[in-house]
Each structure stands twice: as C-alpha cells, then as structure tokens.
C-alpha cells in the first residue's frame, strides 16, 4: 500500500461506512461472509461502500507464524514436487529435495553426499491471515471505486462519435482549448505551427499510442504527481515522461538514455541512479522520478523559466547557453527556437501537444486501453537476501514475466541482496501477504538444477578433502634447497606449495616444515641445473677442435656456411657467445671437434 495506508494492525477494528449502517470489526464476520472452503469474500456492493477507517481495539489479532518443517523420509515418495496438500487450516506446498542416493545417481557421481550437507525438506506455504487479506481487498476496492480510469467508450463517448470516426477541429478551436489550459499552468502553452503539427501527429497518426498512454497514466501519474507535489513543482511536468518514453519504464534510446525519464549514464550517476551488472536504477520508476524532479528543479533554478528548463533537460544546459549567446542574450524559448538543436526545437512543442491530447482525448474519440496494473494494484516490499525471480514464482506463484514487468531495474531477474544495501521488490498488491508470510521459504528455495550443482560441488570438495588427506606429506627444507626445486621434486606447482603453506613469497629457510599434497613419489634424481652445465663444459674441454680466425666482415652465418654440418647455434655453444657483435677480426673461435 501507499505510505498513508501503512497502519499498525496489531490492534484493529474495521469500520465500514455504508449507507445507513456502521459495521465494526467485532461483527464484520456476520456482515461480510467469508467462505473458508473457497477463500471467497462477499463484499458490499460498490455503490454502498464509501470509505474505510482503521482504529485501535482492545482485542489483539493472533498472528500466524511461518514455519519451515522437515518432512519424514517415508512421506517423500507419496507426494509430488509442488503439490498442495491439506495440513490443519493451512495449505502445505511440497518442494522436496532429491535424496542423496537419487541425486548422486542423477549426477553420475560415485561418492556419497557429505553428511549434513543436504536433507529431504518440505517448506510450509503459509496462507495470508483472512482478516488482513480482507482488509487489503476492501482497500483495493475503495481505490477502484474512486479510480478515474473508465475504459468504456460507450460511457465516455459523450459526443456520440462512431467507433471509427476521427474528429477534426479548426485551428481556432485548438487555440481556444490551449488558451484555457495555459491559464492553469506556469508553462507557456502557446499554439503555433510546430505545436499544431504535433497535435495532429498524436490525434491522427498515433491514436493507438495515445490510447495506451491514457491507460498507463493511471499506473504512473499518481507517483509522478506525488513527487512533483513534494518538490513543489508544476504537476504538468508529469506529461514530460510521455514525451521522453511514452510511459515505457524499459525504454532505451540509441544514445544510451534509459527509463521513464530517459537519463543518460553520467547524469543518472549525479542524481544517485546506480548502475551495476545486476541493477540499473534508471529503470526504477520511483528512483528515476525522484532524480527527474531534482534535475528539473536544478535547471529551473538556473534559468527561472520552465520552457528553458525543459529545453535544457533535452539537450543540456550548455547548448541552451550557446543558443542564448547566439540570440544576443534573449531568454524566451520561442526567440531562441531557431538557435537550438533540431531535436530540441521539437521538444517543447511536443510537450505542449501532449498536454493538449491528454486533456482532450475524449474530444478526439480516443479512450484508455486498460493497463496491466493500476497504481493501487501494486505494492513494494523490502528484500533482505539474494533472491531470483524464479524462486518467487515457484513459492508464491507470481509469474516471472510479471515480476520483470513490475521490476525493470533488475536486469538479470536477480535481486543481489548485498549486506548494507536496501532493495525493494514490486508485487501485485494481493501477493504481498503471501511474500511476507513465505519470505524465508523464498530465500531458501533452490531449483532442481541448483540443487544438483550444489551437490556436485559438495561431493567434489569432499573428494578433494579425502584425496588431500591421503596424500599429505611434510618436507623439511635442507641447506641449498629453493622452493622451485622442492616443487619439482614432488611434481607440483610452486604456487600450490605457497598456497598450502600460506606463504606470501617464495622465500624459505633451513629446517622449515612445508606441507605438500601429491600422489606422486618424490623424485630423487633432481640435480641443480648448474651441475649439468659444468659436466658438459668439462667434456667439451677434453676434446680437440678445428678453429677459424675471424676476418673483417665475417658473420656467424658466413662462417657456418664455410664448414659442412656446422650451425650458428653450434658455434655459439662451443664458444660461449652471447653477443655476436663482440667478435673482432683476428679472434680465434672453435668450429667443431677435430674428430668430426
């Protein structure tokens, strides 16, 4: 519910004011019949329901506690996943995790799941309190009775137009109607040629879009009007969201603007609209509306003119300032009009035309298309843990598609639930009670694939743990050893040795105890690389060689070509040559062993 409807319901009395009757909470059960078998409420006729008030009472409503219970193993095979069965006065929704044996067989794993990791569970689906659910229903009915939305063309068609008739009016009539609207707003609702073109666009060629926007206005305008009133701004600014996004909260432009109010990334950041891999607050109707009010208020503070504030909202204050300079310092929008960017030249005329068509839609034989949700048909709850939309769908049966429609800010259908952060979830009003009663069940829910993945991970960790216990060795560092030689000895990686022993570097000391996990037997033939090099050098020293005296212009490639079977690398190796440029004429170098 809205903030004004959030009353403490610990001690309540429902007072239903009807024609000639006052009903208290103590006799509401006799006046409003509740059919427990079918959960149906026979409410009062709409024409007699005029209001609802909630007052304190001396009787405390007994709350129902939600519970998550473990089901006996012998009942598991008799109940299907997701089945609703009877348990006392509540319904139990069974969502059974597969047994350890079944899960292991399905995942084709040989090891059992570690004890205590999983167990067969059933969560209890807790029905909403009947009295509280009835209050929610009555309040929704009160809102519906007083809703301005009437989609019946027969009732709204006071001019008795034919269904396919498109009325046309003279320019004088358009000017008269806009003059009437202009007297009620600080905006300059001028009628001229650019404005006339946009009126015809909406009234003739975009009639279907206008019909949809008339319906969506009942979803979003109450929020817009509440925020504009809070910031003491003209209520006509609500029509700006139509110009920006046609009231589509998921709208995005080619330039990168997003949401109902089409915020660019940088501007959104300035006004607190966070963007992460999971969340884009520019799509959040509430947060983006607050940001739009603050930004428009800032722009109006610069120019003290709402028309220029609208222009700056579209193209940025920098371009509006350039237009003011080019015009010689003029600050009237229509005097600056030809100096503004092309898109902005049509922005304010479109805003004026939207003001007109939304107020005079009936005169043009256009009527609202019912939206998916009216404003009072949705409500928000605070989410404290990470949750996926599919979990909510599985537990309280709100379709994932509806959750995505109501919560476009969650890009991947996941509410991250980061500690210290506050996340809100919008739900159908009549599903809020189900969410709150079954919140812990939703947080603990896992899909079948996630259970299998968790089981595989747990089994792999157990297998690794057993493997490491069986192959754990302790190595005592000796004189002359380095970490690389020790890792080579046991055929493991240096990084693993450091990780196993919580080492921040490769530095070791004599007598240090190192824990090694390996299934390989230690190699006893590891020899220092230096020793191998020394042996080879000694063998070469005992041989006799053929020599070549370097002449001016010689290169190693030229020298190698002079002797059959001799390569450049062989010459370098025999003569320990690292840099061929250091060879000078007259130097004597080895070519090959004399025996070859």
| Angle formed at CA 7 by CA 42 and CA 371, multiple of 5 degrees | 60
Q: How far apart are CA 393 and CA 407, in angstroms?
A: 14
Which residue carries 């007259």 as its tokens?
A: 586
CA of residue 503 relative to chain centroid, distance: 39
Q: Could you give the dihedral angle defined by the CA atoms of residues 91, 95, 100 and 102, in that order, rounded to the nearest 10 degrees?
A: 120
Q: How far apart are CA 261 and CA 254, in angstroms?
A: 15
Residue among 322, 320, 289, 293 at smallest CA distance from 307: 320
**29 φ, ψ (degrees, to nearest 5):** -65, -30
Does the annotation mark 244 as catalytic?
Answer: yes
Catalytic residue among 236, 244, 402, 439: 244
DSSP-derived secondary structure letter, 39: T
Q: How far apart are CA 422 and CA 289, in angstroms?
A: 18
Q: How far apart are CA 415 and CA 434, in angstroms?
A: 18
Q: In the 3-class helix/strand/coil scheme, how is 398-440 assigned residue by residue?
A: CCHHHHHHHCCCECCCEECCCCCCCEEEEEEHHHHHHHHHCHH
Task: Write out the DSSP string of 188-206.
Answer: ----SHHHHHHHHIIIII-
Q: How far apart are CA 47 and CA 49, in angstroms?
A: 6
Q: Is the dihedral of CA 57, 58, 59, 65 positive or negative?
A: positive
Q: How far apart are CA 434 and CA 394, in angstroms?
A: 12
- Name 330's Cβ contacts closer than 8 Å, sequence gap at least 6: 324, 336
CA of residue 307 relative to chain centroid, distance: 35
Residue 63 has which token pair?
Answer: 């709350």
Q: Is 146:222 a contact under the CB 8 Å cutoff?
A: no
Three-state SS for 548?
A: strand
DSSP-derived secondary structure letter, 208: H
**545 φ, ψ (degrees, to nearest 5):** -125, 160
Which residues are designated catalytic? 244
């Amino acid at each position: 519910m809205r903030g004004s409807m959030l009353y403490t319901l610990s001690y309540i009395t429902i007072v239903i004011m009807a024609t000639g009757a006052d009903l208290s909470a103590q006799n509401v059960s006799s006046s409003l019949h509740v059919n427990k078998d079918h959960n149906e409420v026979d409410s009062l006729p709409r024409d007699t329901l005029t209001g609802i008030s909630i007052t304190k009472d001396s009787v405390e409503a007994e709350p129902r506690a939600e519970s998550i219970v473990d089901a006996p193993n012998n009942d598991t095979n008799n109940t299907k996943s997701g089945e609703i069965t009877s348990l006392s006065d509540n319904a139990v929704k069974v969502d059974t995790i597969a047994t350890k044996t079944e899960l292991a067989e399905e995942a084709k794993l040989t090891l059992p799941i570690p004890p205590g990791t999983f167990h067969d569970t059933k969560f209890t689906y807790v029905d909403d309190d009947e009295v509280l659910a009835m209050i929610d229903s009555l309040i929704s009915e009160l809102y519906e009775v007083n809703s301005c939305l009437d989609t019946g063309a027969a009732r709204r068609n006071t001019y008795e137009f034919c269904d396919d008739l498109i009325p046309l009016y003279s320019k004088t009539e358009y000017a008269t109607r806009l003059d009437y609207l202009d007297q009620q707003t600080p905006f300059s609702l001028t009628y001229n040629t650019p404005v006339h073109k946009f009126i015809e666009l909406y009234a003739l060629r975009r009639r279907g879009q206008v019909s949809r926007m008339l319906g969506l206005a009942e979803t979003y305008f109450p929020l817009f009007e509440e925020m504009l009133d809070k910031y003491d701004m003209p209520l006509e600014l609500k029509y700006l969201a139509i110009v920006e996004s046609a009231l589509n909260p998921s709208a995005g432009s080619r330039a990168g603007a997003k949401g109902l109010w089409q915020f660019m990334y940088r501007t959104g950041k300035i006004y607190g609209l966070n963007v992460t891999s999971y969340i884009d607050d520019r799509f959040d109707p509430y947060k983006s509306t607050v940001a739009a009010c603050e930004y428009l208020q800032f722009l109006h503070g610069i120019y003290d003119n709402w028309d220029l504030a609208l222009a700056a909202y579209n193209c940025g204050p920098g371009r509006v300032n350039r237009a003011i300079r080019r015009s010689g310092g003029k600050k009237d929008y229509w005097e600056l009009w030809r100096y503004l960017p092309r898109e902005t030249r049509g922005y304010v005329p479109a805003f004026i035309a939207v003001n007109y068509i939304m107020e005079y839609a009936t005169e043009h034989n256009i009527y609202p298309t019912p939206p998916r949700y009216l404003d009072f048909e949705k409500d928000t709850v605070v989410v404290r843990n990470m949750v996926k939309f599919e979990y909510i769908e599985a537990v309280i049966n709100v379709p994932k598609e509806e959750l995505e429609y109501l919560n476009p800010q969650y890009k991947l259908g996941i509410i991250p639930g980061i500690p210290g952060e506050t996340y809100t979830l919008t739900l159908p009003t009549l599903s809020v009670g189900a969410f709150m009663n079954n919140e812990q069940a939703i947080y603990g829910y896992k899909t079948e694939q996630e259970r299998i993945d968790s089981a595989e991970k747990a089994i792999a960790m157990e297998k690794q743990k057993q493997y490491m216990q069986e192959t754990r060795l302790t190595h005592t560092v000796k004189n002359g050893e380095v970490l690389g030689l020790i890792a080579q000895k046991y055929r493991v990686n240096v990084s693993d040795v450091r990780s196993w022993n919580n080492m921040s570097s490769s530095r070791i000391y004599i007598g240090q105890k190192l824990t090694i996990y390996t299934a390989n037997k230690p190699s006893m033939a590891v020899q220092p690389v230096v020793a191998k090099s020394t042996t080879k050098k000694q063998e070469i020293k005992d041989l006799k060689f053929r020599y070549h005296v370097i002449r001016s212009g010689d290169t190693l490639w030229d020298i190698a070509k002079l002797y059959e079977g001799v390569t450049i690398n062989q010459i370098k190796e025999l003569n320990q040559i690292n840099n061929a440029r250091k060879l000078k004429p007259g130097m004597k170098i080895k070519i090959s062993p004399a025996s070859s």
